[in-house]
Amino acid sequence: MSKLELEKLIRDVPDFPKKGIIFKDITPLLSDRFSETINEVISLIDWDGIECVAGIESRGFIFAAAIAQKLDIGFIPIRKKGKLPPPVISESYSLEYGEDTLEVSTLYNKQKVIIVDDVIATGGTLSASIKLCNKANLEIHGCLALINLSFLNDLKNSEIPIKSVFEY
């Protein structure tokens, strides 16, 4: 299946989760073409030397866990506050419809990671995840997403490569 055919499975949901936001629903894509979708995300970078995938809660877990399993590498969860046992570090951030806090364990040491999420909107979640991984002594080699809503963020000039299968 081509990338264009995969993109047709993404549907726009107006006014979700609040009025004025057009939500990119990837549910049909995941239910109909999950394996092909994961392969598209994996194909975005060279994985040589990468030891772990850091998945951002919650839908980033879907992609990160599948990538880690397929490539036989580790999985590092980046979770919402209060979901991981200590010791953890936290980072608060703003997103397009509120504020939140992410946490990651401090038990890692210099693993080479790729940060993975489903959708990059304003970039707040990804920026907080990058800060967390740096604080946790992880070596970030890139960031991946299925969708980058680049009209909502200014990540083009990021020091860390950010790649996505689809960009709007």
Tell me the DSSP string of 8-27. TT-EEEET-SSTT-EEEE-H
Out of 59, 79, 159, 167, the active site residue is 59
Token couple for 51: 């030891």
Nearest alpha carbon to residue 35 among 79, 67, 82: 67
11 is catalytic: no
Instruction: For residues 144 and 146, give the distance between their C-alpha atoms in angstroms, rounded to a whole number.
Output: 7
Out of 91, 96, 139, 167, the active site residue is 96
Nearest alpha carbon to residue 91 among 122, 134, 37, 145: 134
59 is catalytic: yes
How many Cβ atoms are within 10 Å of 19's Cβ, its own excluded?
8
Going by DSSP bridges, is the β-strand pair 74-80/52-56 parallel, antiparallel, or unpaired? parallel
Q: Which residues are catalytic?
A: 59, 96
